[in-house]
């Protein structure tokens, strides 16, 4: 069994998608798969703190990632379907050549790029090999400009029903594809290496009386902004100088300040290598998991599965979720009582939640215990790697 995997983000580039793929593929033999991505994307996505390279063969297709972005902007401005069709044809040609050369028996296309899913689907049909869509996010809703959204939706209507398998990271996206296309996707939660988290993290409040740490680790962009702004307002409402937000992110301090994520209660840190995250997370008092209440892509927020969910659950520290009530994130943590959920855009209610997490030891313990139980059940990379390998192998048997 050999498959080709097509993804904009691949290890070692810095993204949740890259890290998921690293976990899924790292133990496979190099001759079982090949990897295909855009030329030079890794230069823009890696800051030296992503995962390691995978041992399988990498293929980089043209044109450069930044050129594609420019062409998409041009197509949107000019409302040119011709540009999109031409770029898709180029992608199909390159993928077909590589997949033939590698003698792949199936192709897996990941969301994140406009052309990868439909191009890989067309190649699978022409080569008569199985096609698997790995939908890390809702494919058509990732593209907001009307022309790009219409292009993605048109192809989505073919490639989802025509796929041998659709993989999604959560129950909400599974439900959405069932409702829209009548297919039953396979849910594989984003895997986490639980072995990197201590069974009993040292956390003695007596040694930290001068500070209560609310921790966020990960990217910050439009899908998070107003949730962070609410948190900062909540900290001002609390008016407790010892309670501080610590942020580890690849985004620049200037960009965060420009979006009002700043102030006397905020401490910025340079992003750290992934192997350091477990220790940093397990030393925190509260782990923050935000999603925006008003963003340019509310449909994406509803079905989003942040790659860090498994990490936060595994850290055995209380998780504070601040996300819309109709999002998967809010539903999951409420459903399993594994985090404190504030699902209204209300800084006062958020402040009350922080106060409860600081003062109520029983609440802290209950949430932490439930969180680790869910990490083992839904996010253990050992289990998910096996499910992924078994699924791909079963789809390759004709």
What does the pLDDT average to over 25-32?
94
* The predicted structure's pLDDT at residue 398: 54
Q: What is the pLDDT of residue 148?
A: 96
The answer to whether residue 52 scores a pLDDT higher than 90 is no
Q: Check residue 43 and give its pLDDT.
A: 54
pLDDT at 45: 46
Q: What's the average model confidence in pLDDT over 199-204?
A: 65
Instruction: Summarize the confidence of residues 106-112 as an average pLDDT.
Output: 97
- Residue 186 forms beta bridges with which residues? 167
Of the candidates 271, 141, 283, the one whose C-alpha atom is nearest the C-alpha of residue 212 is 283
Nearest Cα to 333, choosing from 203, 198, 187, 170?
Answer: 170
pLDDT at 50: 58
> Of 9-13, 123-127, 184-188, 350-354, which gets the smallest average pLDDT?
9-13
Q: Kindly write down the DSSP assignment for every residue of 351-397, as one continuous string.
A: HHHHHHHHH-HHHHHHHHHHHHHHIIIIIBHHHHHHHHHHHHHHHH-
99 pLDDT more than 70: yes
More confident residue, 244 or 203: 244
pLDDT for residue 65: 85
pLDDT at 244 over 50: yes
Of residues 31, 39, 34, 37, the one with CA closest to residue 18 = 37
| Mean pLDDT, range 372-396, rounded to an integer | 94
pTM of the predicted model as reported, rounded to 2 decimal places:
0.93
Whether the pLDDT of residue 90 is over 90: the answer is yes
Is the pLDDT confidence value at 60 over 70? yes
The predicted-structure confidence for 128-183, as pLDDT tens digits, reads as follows 999 999 999 999 999 999 999 999 999 999 999 999 999 999 999 999 999 999 99
What pLDDT score does 205 carry? 53
Quote the pLDDT of residue 364.
Answer: 95
Per the DSSP assignment, residues forming a β-bridge with 134 are 110, 167
pLDDT computed for residue 72 by the predictor: 95
Return mean pLDDT, the chain: 92
State residue 179's pLDDT score: 96
Q: Before 22, cis peptide (omega within 30)? A: no
What is the average pLDDT across 289-301? 93
């Amino acid at each position: 069994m050999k498959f080709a995997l097509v993804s904009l983000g691949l290890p070692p580039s810095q993204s949740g998608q890259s890290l998921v793929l690293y976990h899924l593929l790292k133990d496979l033999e190099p001759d079982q798969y090949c990897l295909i991505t855009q030329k030079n994307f890794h230069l823009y996505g890696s800051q030296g703190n992503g995962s390691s390279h995978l041992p399988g063969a990498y293929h980089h297709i043209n044109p450069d990632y930044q050129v594609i972005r420019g062409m998409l902007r041009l197509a949107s401005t000019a409302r040119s379907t011709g540009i999109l069709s031409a770029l898709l044809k180029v992608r199909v040609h390159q993928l077909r050549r590589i997949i033939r050369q590698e003698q792949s028996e199936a192709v897996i296309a990941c969301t994140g790029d406009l052309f990868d899913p439909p191009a890989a689907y067309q190649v699978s049909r022409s080569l008569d090999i199985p096609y698997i869509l790995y939908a890390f996010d809702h494919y058509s809703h990732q593209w907001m400009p009307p022309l790009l959204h219409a292009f993605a939706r048109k192809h989505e209507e073919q490639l989802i029903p025509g796929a041998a398998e659709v993989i999604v990271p959560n129950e909400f996206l599974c439900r959405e594809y069932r409702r829209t296309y009548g297919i039953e996707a396979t849910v594989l939660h984003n895997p986490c290496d639980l072995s990197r988290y201590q069974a009993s993290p040292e956390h003695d409040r007596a040694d930290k009386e001068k500070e209560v740490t609310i921790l966020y680790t990960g990217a910050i962009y439009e899908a998070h902004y107003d949730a962070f702004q609410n948190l900062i307002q909540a900290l001002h409402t609390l008016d407790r100088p010892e309670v501080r937000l610590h942020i580890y992110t690849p985004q620049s301090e200037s960009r965060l300040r420009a979006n009002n994520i700043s102030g006397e209660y905020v401490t910025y840190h340079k992003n750290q290598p992934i192997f350091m995250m477990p220790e940093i997370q397990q030393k925190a008092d509260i782990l923050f998991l935000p999603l925006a209440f008003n963003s340019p892509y509310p449909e994406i927020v509803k079905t989003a599965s942040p790659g860090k969910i498994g990490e936060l659950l595994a850290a055995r520290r209380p998780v504070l979720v601040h996300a819309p009530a109709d999002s998967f994130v809010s539903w999951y943590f409420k459903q399993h009582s594994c985090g404190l959920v504030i699902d209204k855009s209300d800084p006062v209610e958020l402040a009350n939640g922080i106060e409860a997490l600081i003062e109520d030891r029983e609440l802290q313990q209950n949430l932490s215990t439930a969180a680790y139980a869910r990490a083992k059940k839904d996010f253990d990379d050992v289990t998910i790697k096996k499910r992924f390998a078994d699924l791909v192998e079963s789809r390759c048997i004709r």
